[in-house]
Amino acid sequence: MALQGSLLADTPWLRHVVDNQHRGADGVRLGDFSGDSFPDIVIGWEEAGLVKLCLNPGPHHSNERWPSLTVGVMAKRLNYFLMIAY
C-alpha cells in the first residue's frame, strides 16, 4: 500500500467535541443516518446506558456542538462497541 504525504503533520490535529453531555463513550459508528449526505455519528455511552445519534450540521456549522438525540437505552456497563448496528 502506498501512502502519499507525510504521516507527521506540520500542525496538530484540532480536537472538536460533538457531544460531551455524558461520560464513558464506548464505540462509535459513522454513517449518513439523516439522508443529507453528511456523515453522522452514533455513540454508545456505556456509563450513561444510552445510545445517541449526533447529526452532522454540515460544513458551515460542523465546528459547533452537533444536535443529538437519544436513540436507545440499554443496561449500563455493556460493551456498546460490538452492539451498535451499522
Q: What angle do CA 24, 31, 42 make, to 5 degrees?
A: 20
Q: Where do the structural domains in the chain lie, given as residue ranges?
A: 25-83
- Whole-prediction pTM value? 0.71
Tens digit of each residue's pLDDT (9 = 90 or more) over 52-72: 999 999 999 988 889 999 999
CA distance 3 to 79: 33
CA distance 63 to 57: 9
pLDDT band at 82 (very low <50, low <70, confident <90, very high): very low
What residue has cell string 454540515?
58
